[in-house]
A and B are shown apart, each in its own frame.
Chain A
Amino acid sequence: MPDDDFQAFVEQRYTALLRTAYLLCGSRDRAEDLLQNALAAALPKWRRMDHPEAYVRRIMVNQLANDWRRPIREIVTAVLPDRARHTGDAVEERDQLWSALRRLPVRMRAVLVLRYWEDRSEQETAQILGVTVGTVKSHSSRGLARLRELIEPGPSAALTTANGGN
């Protein structure tokens, strides 16, 4: 079952895919879990795949979007996470735009990540997510609008100046 090409794909693209996974879900442990699951699902279909990266991304988004179908469970990772790397969480919590992004629906968040972080075209984004270009446009414009709403100063909101205003 293991395949040299697949192994090379994993080793070469793992970090990039993991970063996409992290931007999608906002948790390092969950990102590893998402990506590992997607790759494990891709492994048996590897030889039949034309666009493995797109497949893995789509699996990750679908997995996140469908989380409610599965019981919540403890995520078990083969290697204990490096706790030292989590010291940035306090900073993350103060990052208003990041927090706002995490409040968007999964597919809307995925469109923003693919369009503006991976610099994918609308067409590519639509293909990766298996949606129409119209859906990508709609998610993109509404997602940006929603982000603006979420980071606008409210009467009782405590804002950080670093990320406020556009």
Chain B
Amino acid sequence: MIEELRATLDRHAAQVTPQPDPYPRVVSRHHRRRRRVTAAIAAVAMLLVVAPGAWLLGRPQPYLPVAGPPPAALLPLLNSPTRGSLAADNAYIESLRQMAADLAMNDDSTGSRLPDDPAMIKVLFAGDIGARRIAVVASVDGKPLVAAFQGEPGDGADELKHSMLSMMEPALGTGFAMGSGNAERTFLLLGPVGAVYETAETRYTGTGVKRSWTRLDAPDGYVGIADLVGQQRFRVLTGGTVLYETEGGAAAAPGKPVTVDPQPAGGRGRPMPAAATQIAAGLATLTRLTGPDVTYRVLWSDEIDMPGTTTGRAAIVTVQAVTADGGGPYTTGTIDTGDGSYRDHPSGYGIAGDVEHSLLAMRLPWYQVESDHLQIVAPPAAVRAEVVRGAQTAEAALVNGVGGLAVPLGSQLTIRVYDAAGALLATLEYADRDKFGCDRFDPAACATGSPPPSGTESPTAAVTPTAVVTPTATR
């Protein structure tokens, strides 16, 4: 066998001849890569909608199998029967478990991985959804991970490609896309047996986010959408409790350019036109607020020192989508003035009312090390901020409502701002957060592990998953 293999490899290798001028092409490719990376980072960072489940690939501290029983919250899903059109095919299920274990055994990276013992792997889903064959497996150990694989109908377990590895949650929502040029996306929503699945229409206003939920038909115990159009929100409930909430699909860029006046409202900072346009476009993508009754404004912008950037400086802009009631969601981003790379911070997102009454506080995005600087963006008439942390009170001077001070990370604060006459203009209860909730603008709107939060509407009649349509422009 070995000699025949050598002969086969020799024969095929000998047929290969390089295209001309390899070295100039390498140099050219190197330069193209640098330009492409620089130009793409900001746009990609804004367009990606990160699911709340931690994406483990490339994580500096890998998750490795941990001995012990799985957390109780995960047992309902782990103990549920395998779902999907191949669930009853015992040989296929066994080959999936073996394949997943082999993958872990052969994983030479230092990254997170599943156990290499098939006995510790549970197949949660195996079957065909539309033109995809999907398999989802989980590790049954003290810190379960979940992995997804995809291929074409008819593919054996060994032919499926690994497409996702994540920490396991009480339910799962994951998409399977073949490529950036292909709008088709297969989506799987999988909860414990008996779970209820819902999808939402979302509406942002100046006071918060409102969602109306519609129950999805799941006769086989899961929701499989062959071609998910646009981006949609889903949740999984058992016994009236929300187990899991996520966004599925891809946020599409707004159909027309988003215009934003780069002059910061109330003279709060300096105009950063290019950054403002870019961040406004990202906000429009995330919220799909593009209707004629929506405008975009800069709440604050400036150029600031930013360690870790190529120039040591970054443009920072807070942009708000202004809905009919005068407020709406906002986001804050920094753009390296040198290479254009983009950063944001969970605390830089939120929902605010009008400029004259809204008080915002946030940590700054960072490139090298997180700063303890707390940024305050207050009504333009504010000249002083009072920051209360436990029994301690600190003050910061504000210029046109803008200022900041050092506050230890992980703080819970009460912030009050005053005008020149000493009148209280606004108060804000602020708590640091270092990760995104499943709704980055209003994390409290989708707290899981509890009954549906107020502000959500009762589900309407069940619809079939394929009947799910693109959300309306009110979203």
Contacts and interface: CB of A to CB of B under 8 A. Distances in A.
B26 A18 contact: no
Interface in B1-34: 1-2, 4-6, 8-10, 12-23, 25-30, 33
Interface in B158-185: 158-159, 161-163, 177-182
A155 interface: no
Interface residues of A, number: 61
A113 interface: yes
Contact of A15 (B17, B25, B30, B180): B17
A51 interface: no
B179 A11 contact: no
Contacts of A88: 15
A148 interface: yes
Given A37-B29, A72-B181, 12 more contacts: A2-B27, A11-B23, A18-B18, A19-B16, A20-B13, A36-B22, A41-B33, A71-B177, A72-B182, A79-B19, A103-B159, A105-B158
Contact of B106 (A18, A19, A105): A105
B269 to A, nearest CB: 36
Given A23-B9, A71-B179, A28 B26 contact: no
Contacts of B20: 79
B57 interface: yes
B12 A92 contact: yes
Given A97-B4, A144-B1, A147-B1, A116 B29 contact: no
A48 interface: no
B305 interface: no
Contacts of A144: 1-2, 5
Contacts of B10: 117
Contacts of B89: none
Q: Which of B1, B14, B180 has the most CB of A within 10 A?
A: B1
A7 B23 CA distance: 6
Contacts of A2: 27
A112 B29 CA distance: 29
Interface of A: 1-2, 7, 10-11, 14-15, 18-20, 22-23, 28, 31-32, 36-37, 39-41, 43-44, 67-69, 71-74, 77-79, 81-82, 85, 88, 92, 95, 97-98, 101, 103, 105, 107-108, 112-113, 116-117, 129-132, 135, 138-139, 144, 147-148, 163, 166
Given A36-B29, A71-B177, A79-B20, A116 B106 contact: no
Contacts of B177: 71
B9 A117 contact: yes
Contacts of B2: 116, 144
Give chain A's interface secondary structure class. Answer: helix
Contacts of A15: 16-18
Q: Which are the 3 A-B pairs with shortest beta-carbon distances?
A: A131-B108, A72-B179, A71-B180
A28 B8 CA distance: 16
Contacts of A10: 22-23, 26
B152 to A, nearest CB: 13
Interface string B312-334: 00000000000000000000000
A158 B274 CA distance: 63
Contacts of A23: 9, 12-13
Contact of A22 (B16, B21, B162, B179): B16
A147 B179 contact: no
A103 B157 CA distance: 12
21 contacts: A10-B26, A15-B16, A19-B16, A22-B13, A28-B16, A36-B26, A40-B26, A40-B29, A44-B30, A68-B162, A69-B57, A71-B178, A71-B179, A71-B181, A78-B19, A79-B19, A85-B17, A98-B12, A105-B158, A138-B105, A138-B106
B4 A14 contact: no
Contacts of B19: 32, 77-79, 81-82
Nearest to A132: B108
Q: Which of B1, B10, B26, B33 has the most CB of A within 10 A?
A: B26
Nearest to B22: A14
Contacts of B33: 40-41
Q: Which of A15, A67, A129 has the most CB of B within 10 A?
A: A15
A106 B179 CA distance: 20
A108 B9 CA distance: 15
Nearest to A136: B108
A74 B12 CA distance: 24
A103 to B, nearest CB: 8
A139 B106 contact: yes
Contacts of B15: 85, 88
